[in-house]
């Protein structure tokens, strides 16, 4: 089986969508990868032919073992590149996802090994996301809550942020909402916005953006 960049992107997108708690169908991939429905249909046929995915009668797509291996390898390299760019080169946290998307396909097994030796395993990426399939259910089991579901007058630490939206990341960075920062929910407003205390500032954020941020409660809260 010839592994192309396109195949890698589709398989990684399936794994990423699963990690966001989504049921993956063709429309999910079209939206996730910003490609046309006919292009997705052709890709699904190729991936199914190569035994990389399984497609149920209702159209639900899951990764077969070989597809999961490819996706995991790419996710590992993406994770390591993001950490390399911030920890070694000091790149801003909200920029590294796009850089890693471009570089991950060119990383050899030898370079991946060197990155692992240099950076170590088990650390979060600059967006607070761990390596592997981390679903909303697993985050809730750790006691995390999405920012939009925090109760008023509760305090928490930003644990992780959805990393696949550059505009969202820059917006959050401008508000001071970044992994490791502390905040307090002040008010849930009538217009569906939230008023937060971030450091010495009061800021507002819409619920759609807040749903992309996961909060770990501060001890004692």
CA distance 178 to 96: 14
Tell me, what's the pLDDT at 1? Answer: 62
Q: Supply 214's token pair.
A: 């996961």
CA distance 202 to 9: 39
Q: Whole-number mean pLDDT of the chain? A: 93
For 63-101, what is each residue's pLDDT tens digit?
A: 999 999 999 999 999 999 999 999 999 999 999 999 999
Where along the chain do its domains lie? Answer: 5-68, 137-217
On whether the CB atoms of residues 152 and 214 are closer than 8 A, the answer is: no
CATH class, domain 137-217, is mainly beta
pLDDT of 220 strictly over 60 = no
Tell me, what's the pLDDT at 30? Answer: 96
CA distance 76 to 95: 18
On whether the CB atoms of residues 124 and 130 are closer than 8 A, the answer is: yes
Nearest to 164 by CA among 208, 112, 119, 100: 100
Buried/exposed 174-211: b ≥16 CB within 10 Å, e otherwise: ebbbbbeeebbbbebeeeeebebbbeeeebebebebbe
For residue 61, count other CB atoms closer than 10 A to its CB. Answer: 23
Q: Supply 58's token pair.
A: 């209702």
DSSP three-state, residue 144: coil
Q: Supply 119's token pair.
A: 């950076």
DSSP three-state, residue 192: coil
Read off the pTM.
0.91
Q: Determine the Cα angle at 19 with ends 168 and 186, to 5°.
A: 45
CA distance 148 to 79: 26
Percent of all residues in the chain with a pLDDT value above 70, rounded to a whole number: 98
pLDDT of 54 strictly over 90 = yes
CATH class, domain 5-68, is mainly alpha
């Amino acid at each position: 089986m010839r592994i192309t960049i396109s195949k890698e992107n589709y398989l990684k997108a399936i794994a990423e969508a699963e990690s966001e708690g989504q049921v993956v169908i063709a429309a999910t991939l079209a939206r996730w990868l910003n490609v046309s429905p006919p292009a997705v249909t052709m890709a699904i046929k190729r991936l199914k032919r190569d035994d990389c995915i399984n497609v149920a009668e209702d159209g639900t797509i899951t990764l077969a073992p070989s597809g999961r291996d490819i996706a995991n390898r790419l996710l590992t390299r993406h994770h390591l590149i993001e950490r390399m760019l911030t920890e070694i080169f000091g790149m801003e946290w909200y920029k590294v996802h796009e850089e890693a998307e471009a570089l991950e396909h060119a990383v050899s097994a030898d370079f991946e090994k060197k990155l692992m030796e240099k950076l170590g395993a088990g650390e979060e990426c600059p967006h607070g996301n761990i390596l592997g399939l981390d679903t909303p259910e697993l985050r809730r089991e750790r006691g995390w809550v999405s920012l939009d579901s925090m109760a008023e007058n509760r305090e928490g630490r930003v644990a992780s942020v959805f990393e696949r939206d550059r505009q969202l990341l820059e917006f959050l960075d401008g508000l001071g909402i970044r992994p490791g920062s502390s905040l307090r929910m002040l008010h849930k407003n009538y217009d569906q916005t939230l008023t937060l205390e971030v450091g010495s500032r009061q800021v507002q954020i819409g619920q759609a953006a807040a749903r992309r941020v996961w909060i770990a409660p501060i001890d004692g809260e």
